[in-house]
Structure 1
Amino acid sequence: MRSSLVPLGPPVSQDRVITSFPKCYTPAACLQLREHFHGQVSIACQRRSTGTVGEGRTHVQDDGPKTVLESNTHVPRRLRLSKVVVVGDLYVGKTSLIRRFCRNVFDRNYKATIGVDFEIERFEVAGIPYSLQIWDTAGQEKFKCIASAYYRGAQVIITTFDLTDLQTLDHTRQWLEDALQENEPGTCFLFLVGTKKDLLSGAACEQVEVEAVRLANEMEAEYWSVSAKTGENVKAFFSRVAALAFERSVLQDLERRSSAWPQVGNGDLIRTCRNGGTSARDPGQREALQPGLLLAEPASEASVPDPARAVPPVAWRVAWPC
């Protein structure tokens, strides 16, 4: 009987594989100075317990695909995705920035974005599939009310300006304020990005960056300078965005799962029992429990309290009946 794995899609390109935490552009305006992923995230990725992967392995056989659980095999059941919103004035190069990253092209012929557009870019972060949904919003005032509806639910807000036009830098305050109004406080990573770096000399760029870094710190945002024309810093920037969004997503998953498993006594877990629970070895122990609780299997010896302490010598795992 023939058996093979079902591919989940085309492989991620090598430049979308992130194995180490990407560096920031400048420590003067940086969201995260650590050089490595959070310890809990690294462990979760190694164990494939990030909340973005399952333990099912799909095989193609003569009678159709089946799922077989294997203790040492983990493949994604669903791909995690973060929403990224790019905002800024007309002509600052939002579309060019996105197209350079997603398609590796640069179009000299300007064409204004009408309403909104988006791209989905796939990554592999620390061995885990991950995607960014990058929304390109119109910079024209007449489309602002339409675009603002798409700000909601963003995990990342990228506010862009033209390094050769300081007026667009001043306008980033309002763009960021508009985007934040559609999202809960503290839920978004913020980036301030200067575009068209290729049009300035090194000294002129540094002079503009001083003001941009100051504003980024006021916004509590991370600062980057990029060039869509040459591609300078574009891949590094979006890799940084993906890594930060991925790390927060995994940490939030771990926190949700830990809060869903309350503890009693010396730390034994209260587990949800799908089959209605199992009876205790000693039925007399039931009387000591609250109504509605069922005793499951005794805890392992490692979890039994020290007999020297003034606690019962046997610890029982408790399960809520379904």
Structure 2
Amino acid sequence: MQYATREVIKTGEGSARAPRERSSPAVSVPVPHPHLQPYPVAMDGYDHLFKLLLIGDAGVGKSSMLLRFTDDTFDDNLQSTIGVDFKVKMMQVDGKKIKMTIWDTAGQERFRTLTSSYYRGAQGIVLVYDVARRDTFENLDLWLQEVEVYSPAGGRDVVKLLVGNKIDKERVVSRREAEDWARSKGMLFVESSAKTKIGIQQVFNEVVQKILENPALLSNTAPRNRGRKLDGKAEKSGGGSGCC
């Protein structure tokens, strides 16, 4: 499996981009993903459009993970997201161009009614906790219940991945305990550090690969405006504006 990525475009106009999550200092050395190579993928041409959600308690590093993956940047002073934000990222996997919209949701309780609607149409959900804060791990069951309530088919038809973030800090949740929890829920599992870049690329590679392996999820990810063929000729769309 060969992967390639390019830089992210900025969030859409009007996106709520207020204070984001605070991240913590780290000491580890970055480890690049062995299968990743830069690739100039055009944003206006893709084979599949994936929608991914980042969920979990406030302060676990969801925003930092997103910025590290899309912009390869890290900000120690990043504050908690208010509402919902998103970025777009292109990947190329085995010759397939994948366009990802990655939604960064607020972890605070008061934003739950706002973020619940964003579960619809998602092919992948990344559930994040902080390995240095046990409460964020103990709250995972509550987040999974939310997935089951708001996702179609109770979340059974989406790819779910658990991430233990901030492994650059002194942990209070062991890898074994988290692996056992993820296994019991039928979820993938990765540990990461947005500060050092460790595991960040793997998180999204794993989710994308699992979506590509699921024909049911892929069925609604092809571009909608490629045009139908009539008598061997491509039918051009009429006037008017579209909505994404």
Taking structure 2 as the reference length, the TM-score comes to: 0.68
Residue 220 of structure 1 is matched in structure 2 by: 186
Residue 124 of structure 1 is matched in structure 2 by: 92
Secondary structure, aligned partner of 1:149: helix
Post-superposition CA distance 1:42-79 (Å, at most 9, x none): xxxxxxxxxxxxxxxxxxxxxxxxxxxxxxxxxx9754
Instruction: Classify 1:249/1:158 alpha carbon distance in 2 versus 1 (closer, same or farther; 3 Å).
Output: same
Instruction: Classify 1:251/1:126 alpha carbon distance in 2 versus 1 (closer, same or farther; 3 Å).
Output: farther
Instruction: Classify 1:117/1:251 alpha carbon distance in 2 versus 1 (closer, same or farther; 3 Å).
Output: closer
Instruction: Classify 1:251/1:158 alpha carbon distance in 2 versus 1 (closer, same or farther; 3 Å).
Output: closer
Q: Does 1:163 align with 2:131?
A: yes
Residue 16 of structure 1 is matched in structure 2 by: 5
Percent of aligned positions that are identical:
32
Residue 98 of structure 1 is matched in structure 2 by: 66
Unaligned runs of 5+ in 1: 1-13, 18-75, 254-273, 276-322
Q: Which of the pair has the greater relative contact order for Cα pairs under 8 Å at 6+ separation?
A: 2
Q: In structure 2, what is the Cα distance between the partners aligned to 1:227 and 1:184?
A: 31
1:247 equivalent among 203, 206, 213: 213
Q: In structure 2, what is the Cα distance between the partners aligned to 1:130 and 1:250?
A: 16
- Contact 1:16–1:239 under 8 Å retained in 2: no
RMSD, aligned CA:
2.4
- Contact 2:46–2:96 under 8 Å retained in 1: no
Unaligned runs of 5+ in 2: 7-43, 220-229, 232-244
Instruction: Classify 1:136/1:183 alpha carbon distance in 2 versus 1 (closer, same or farther; 3 Å).
Output: same
Aligned residue pairs total 181
Post-superposition CA distance 1:68-112 (Å, at most 9, x none): xxxxxxxx9754111111100011000001110000000000311
Residue 222 of structure 2 is matched in structure 1 by: none
- Contact 2:69–2:201 under 8 Å retained in 1: yes
Q: In structure 1, what is the Cα distance between the partners aligned to 2:46 and 2:203?
A: 25
Specify which structure has the higher proportion of helix. Answer: 1
Q: In structure 1, what is the Cα distance between the partners aligned to 2:150 and 2:162?
A: 18
Q: In structure 2, what is the Cα distance between the partners aligned to 1:77 and 1:195?
A: 32
Pick the structure with greater CA Rg.
Answer: 1
Instruction: Classify 1:77/1:225 alpha carbon distance in 2 versus 1 (closer, same or farther; 3 Å).
Output: closer
Taking structure 1 as the reference length, the TM-score comes to: 0.52
